[in-house]
Structure 1
Amino acid sequence: MLNKQVKVKLKTTIRQPNEEPEIYELWANGTIIEKRGKSFLKYEEMQDDNKINTTVKMGETEGLILRSGGVNMRLPFLENEEQTGSYESEFGVLMVSTMTRKIAFEKNKNDGNFVVQYDLTVSGQPVGEYTLEFHYTEGSQ
């Protein structure tokens, strides 16, 4: 099992019909874990004074994002397939689904990239096309 400290950059692009794309960037310190041939990226972020722990399972054709703490969410990805996940809010648990258009994972000795592009549906309503770009680099700030 490999366990390394990394710097994480997450770029999120959200596209809605007839609107300019929204782009968000997040920087965090995290850990890359290699376990039984699988790669996991773990990091912590603050959102509205709530701590959120995020684990990203990265693969070449599938992935999974788990968030817990201030937000509880499970988002599964499988290339060219629809998957069902969940998002827990103060209003209860919402069913979400992802239709993954593209997924790519590339890792090198000291860094890596995981990109997933998907259509997100919440409670049966399309909410946009999302692109998540995770980039991690060994070392700490």
Structure 2
Amino acid sequence: MAEETVSCPVKIHMTTEIFQEETEKIELVLFGHYYEKGGSAYLKYEEMQEAGKIHTVVKVASGRALVMRSGAVSMRLDLREGSRRPGTYENGYGQFPIEAAADEIVHTRTGSLSGQLSLGYRLYMHGDSVGTYKMKIHYEEVQAAK
């Protein structure tokens, strides 16, 4: 089993733009954890929404990203550039099969423990487009209080 090579608490600034009939922009500032393991980068964080607490893990490796959410909303989104991949979405109303086609998966390190993830994808439910999503996640190390 590969050891974690880097691990630190981080401050996350996330912007999500959703393009449907109208454009919606969501900005969040959260605290979470960044780590690297087995050649992949991981961001873990929690967010509170009206439905309740949602735990999210974003895993990024070359040309691939996996977004896993659990809690008030459950979702598994397997993103690979150039292909449409199956996933699942579950909320209080049931579980729905979804598909996602990734247009952009970029992880840029701006420092040893800071960087940015850019994820762009088109989301489909029952074969129909439900929108185009562009996520920008900037993270930087948080120094522990002494």
Q: Tell me the CA shift for residue 60 of structure 1.
A: 3.2
CA contact (8 A) 1:112 1:135 kept: yes
Q: Tell me the CA shift for residue 90 of structure 1.
A: 2.0
Q: Which segments of structure 1 move beyond 6 Å, counting only runs of 4 or more? A: none
What do the CA deviations read for 1:27-55 (whole angstroms, capped 9, x no partner)?
A: 11000011122111000111116111100
What letter corresponds to residue 123 of structure 2 in structure 1?
A: L
Q: 1:77 & 1:92 partners in 2: Cα distance?
A: 22
What do the CA deviations read for 1:96-121 (whole angstroms, capped 9, x no partner)?
A: 10011111111231311111111101
Q: Tell me the CA shift for residue 3 of structure 1.
A: 1.4
1:15 aligns with 2:19: yes
Q: 1:93 & 1:81 partners in 2: Cα distance?
A: 23
CA contact (8 A) 1:98 1:118 kept: yes
Q: Tell me the CA shift for residue 140 of structure 1.
A: 5.4
Q: 1:140 & 1:115 partners in 2: Cα distance?
A: 24
Aligned position for 1:114 = 117
What letter corresponds to residue 8 of structure 1 in structure 2?
A: I
CA contact (8 A) 1:7 1:140 kept: no
Cα RMSD (Å): 1.5
Going from structure 1 to structure 2, the CA distance change for 1:87 and 1:138 (only over 3 Å counts) comes to: same
CA contact (8 A) 1:59 1:104 kept: no
Q: Percent identity?
A: 35
CA contact (8 A) 1:42 1:56 kept: yes
Give runs of aligned pairs for residues 125-136 of structure 1, distance below 5 A: 125-136=128-139
What letter corresponds to residue 19 of structure 2 in structure 1?
A: R
Aligned position for 2:27 = 25
Q: 2:20 & 2:73 partners in 1: Cα distance?
A: 23
Alignment length (residue pairs):
139
